[in-house]
Structure 1
Amino acid sequence: MNSRQLVFRFVAALIVIFTAYQIGVAGLSYRVIGYREYDQKLDAQHLAEFTATSNPTTAAELRHCAVANTATALSFRAEYNSLSNPNRIVEGTVGHCKMYSYVVAAAYNQLARQRGWKTRCRVAYGQVYWFGINLHKFVSGPFFRTHDFNIIQNGKQVYAVDAILYDYFRISTIPLRS
């Protein structure tokens, strides 16, 4: 096989992988079951770390800042932990979906308040669907009964975001099911 054929096969493989990824991502959606009350704040040091690489000037930039910096600060671990203080979560560097959601909400809401913006991030829990199939039916145990993520409301616009999906797949928003 010559180098031209090798390059062609490599490019073709990349196109197939990219297309499969896009199709898979397009099939994801979340359904909100409820919301967790949460109004904790990051301390000055942790908030400064979140804004060290970006200074959000729009709601979209703020959404990206909170999600991307949470994904950078934490590594996912699927084991129970009852921490809810966002500072202790960030210091621990690992978390499950609820802990990721707590940090996103704390960072987003605190930065929005500092800017005087009327936008809000809530911690939601619900179920994950892929092409209309509820994935929770295939996983047993109370830990996987629901999945925590964030709902960001900016005026009439509502976004579902998940820092874990952003961490692993760079998915920035997820469609909501009614």
Structure 2
Amino acid sequence: MREVPDFPEPGIQFKDLTPVLANAVGLATVTNALAEVAEGADLVAGIDARGFLLSAAVATRLGTGVLAIRKGGKLPPPVHSETYDLEYGSATLEIPADGVELAGRSIFVIDDVLATGGTLAATLSLLDRSDVTVTGVGVVLELGALNGRSRVQSVPVTSLYVV
């Protein structure tokens, strides 16, 4: 992992997992660890964008499908959407409102980093409207000092690495 100072704006210390994901052993290690905690879910959801990579790898390992939690404006209507605050602005997440049968399914959510918890809280709110059971959340890296876990207490959270 590398740390990029002042990205995407001054004062933010961006944690870049690209070197881990570009390494075959690193990717396999992360995939296997997340798949272990996601076991039993009907579907794996990945949050735009790095969560897509991880969720697809985990879903393939588990033999499930994958649901992309997209940034706003990337899906055709109709969509369910949730707008939330970031530490450096605001964003919107979306999922299809039709075309994918979600009701009654169990879903495990994957993202790369848990920081303030805003993205995960918005994802859980979004999925809650789809009548699914979220079995848990898995992240590669948790920034413990930002206490994001406190915003997603309704589900078990597994962090592979906490700084």
TM over 0.5, yes or no? no
More helix by share: 1
Structure 1 or 2: more strand by fraction: 2
Q: Which has the higher contact order (CA 8 A, sep 6+)?
A: 1
TM-score by length of 2: 0.30
Using the size of structure 1 for normalisation, the TM-score is: 0.29
